[in-house]
Amino acid sequence: MKVKFSYLEEQFKNPEPIFKDIKKLVKSGDFTLGKEVFEFEKQFAKLCQTKYAVGVGTGTDAIRLSLIALNVGSGDEVITVPNTFYSTVEAIVTAGAKPVFVDADDDYNINPNLIEKAITKKTKAILPVHLYGCPAKIPEIIKIANKHNLLIIEDACQAINSAINKKKAGSFGITGCFSLHPLKGINVWGDGGIITTNSQEVRDKLYMLRNNGLKNRDECAIYSYNCRLDTLQAIVALHVIKDIDWITNKRIENAKFYDEELSKFSQILIPERARNVKQVYHTYVVKAENRDELYNFLLKSEIEAKIHYPVPLHLQEASKYLNYKKGDFPKTEEQVKSIITLPAHQHLKKGQLEYVVKKIKEFYK
Ligand SMILES: *Cc1c(COP(=O)(O)O)cnc(C)c1O
C-alpha cells in the first residue's frame, strides 16, 4: 500500500469547474488584479475574522511586504525562531532587518519565556511562526509585545483556519501572513500569498507595495515590488476556499486517530494538545525513538514520511554572518534529531492510516 505525502492528484481530480472559470478569464483578459482577486480577499478576510486581506505573489512576499509596510528594515531586529521554513528568515533579511532567533518550546513553537532576553533597543517586531499548523502561544506574546512596544507579525503560512479560543490565526498580529503554495491549506496552481490585517492604513500601504508602489496608474509613491496575486490563481483559490472547513476537519480527524493509536507506543512522544487551541495539522509531527531507522523503514514500506526540518536555520550556511553556533538553541537542536512527519492529509483513507500505524508497530516490535 502506498501512503503519499502529497494530495494534489486526488484534490484536483475533477478540474473542469475551475477550467470553466479560467476560460472566462482568458476571454476577458482581466489577468492582473481582476475581480476574483478582490472577491478572494473578501472571503479570506472573513475566514480569518479580519477586516481586510491583500493578495500577493507568495507567502514569502506576504511576510516581506508586511515588514516593509510597517517600516521594519535596516538597523532593526526581528525576533523569530530557528525552526521554520527558510522564507520566514529570508523575508526578514531581504527587508533589510536582522533576524534574532529564540528557541522553541515543547509545542515546537517559540518559547515566550525566552523572548524578553532577546529584546534589545533595536528590536522592532516579533514574528512568531504557527509551525505545523499549531498556533504559537499568542496571549503570552501579546503581553510581551505590549510591554516593549513591539509589532507582532504572524507567519501563519502553515496555519490557515487554526485558532486559539476560536479566534483565528492571522487575526492577532498587525498582519497575518499566509501562503497559497500547492502544499498549503488553501492551495493554488503555482504560487500565491495573502496578508490579513484590521488596519485600513496597512491595507492601503500593502495595495501600493504589491503593485510597483503605485498610487494610481501614473503616480509612483515608493519604489517597491511587483508581487500581485494573479487573477488566475485567485480563481483556483475561490474554488478551494469553499472546502476549507472540510479540509481542516478531515486533517484533525486523521491526527486524532494517530494520536490515539501512537500514544500506545512508549517510543513515540506526542506533543501536548492544548484544549483551547485548534490545530490544523499542516503537518503531523511527533518525536520518535530511533528516528532515522524508523524514517527509512517507513520509506521502504512506501509511506512517504518527512522531516520538517532537518537543519535549523541558525546552522545554515546562509546564517553564518549572524554568528550563531551549535548549542545556541538546545531545544530546537534536540527536536530536529527526533521529529518525524507522517502523512495526514485530507484525502487519506482509514486503511492507509491503519497501515502507517501497523508499520510503526512492526518497527518497534
Ligand atoms: C510555506 C511557508 C512560507 C513561504 O510561503 P511561499 O508561498 O512558499 O513563499 C513561509 N513560512 C512558512 C512557515 C511556510 O511554511
Which CATH number do you get for residue 208?
3.40.640.10
Same domain, 318 and 209: no
Domain count of the chain? 2
CA-nearest residue for atom 14, ligand 1, is 157
Convert the pLDDT of each residue in 96-132 to its tens digit.
999 999 999 999 999 999 999 999 999 999 999 999 9
Dihedral of alpha carbons 342, 346, 348, 351, sign: positive
Q: In this structure, is residue 2 part of a structural domain?
A: no
- Mapping DSSP onto H, E and C, the string for the chain reads CCECCCCHHHHCCCCHHHHHHHHHHHHHCCCECCHHHHHHHHHHHHHCCCCEEEEECCHHHHHHHHHHHCCCCCCCEEEECCCCCHHHHHHHHHCCCEEEECCECCCCCECHHHHHHHCCCCEEEECCECHHHCCCCHHHHHHHHHHHCCEEEEECCCCCCCEECCEECCCCCCEEEEECCCCCCCCCCCCCEEEEECCHHHHHHHHHHCECCEEECCEECCCCCECECEHHHHHHHHHHHCCHHHHHHHHHHHHHHHHHHHCCCCCEECCCCCCCEECCCCCEEEEECCHHHHHHHHHHCCECCECCCCCCHHHCHHHHHHCCCCCCCHHHHHHHHHEEEECCCCCCCHHHHHHHHHHHHHHHC
How many angstroms is it from 365 CA to the middle of ligand 1? 38
Q: Where does a domain end: 241, 265, 294?
A: 241
For a substitution probing ligand 1, which of 67, 85, 227, 236 has the most ligand atoms within 8 Å of its CB?
A: 85
Same domain, 214 and 265: no
How many angstroms is it from 119 CA to the middle of ligand 1? 25
Same domain, 237 and 310: no
Q: Which pLDDT score, from 0 to 100, does residue 276 have?
A: 97
Same domain, 202 and 332: no
How many angstroms is it from 87 CA to the middle of ligand 1? 6
Same domain, 221 and 334: no
Cβ-based neighbours of 161, under 8 Å, separated by 6 or more: 47, 168, 169, 185, 244, 245, 247, 248, 278, 280
Q: Which stretches of the chain drop beneath a pLDDT of 70?
A: none
Same domain, 264 and 295: yes
Same domain, 69 and 217: yes
How many angstroms is it from 184 CA to the middle of ligand 1? 8
The set of cell numbers assigned to 348 is 487519506
Same domain, 287 and 316: yes
Whether the CB-CB separation of 51 and 45 falls below 8 Å is answered with yes
Q: Which pLDDT score, from 0 to 100, does residue 287 have?
A: 98
Residue range of the domain that includes 312: 244-364
- Which atom of ligand 1 is least distant from the CA of 130? 13
CA-nearest residue for atom 2, ligand 1, is 157
Q: Which pLDDT score, from 0 to 100, does residue 83 have?
A: 97
Q: Which pLDDT score, from 0 to 100, does residue 291 have?
A: 98
How many angstroms is it from 51 CA to the middle of ligand 1? 23
Q: In this structure, is residue 3 part of a structural domain?
A: no
CA-nearest residue for atom 6, ligand 1, is 59
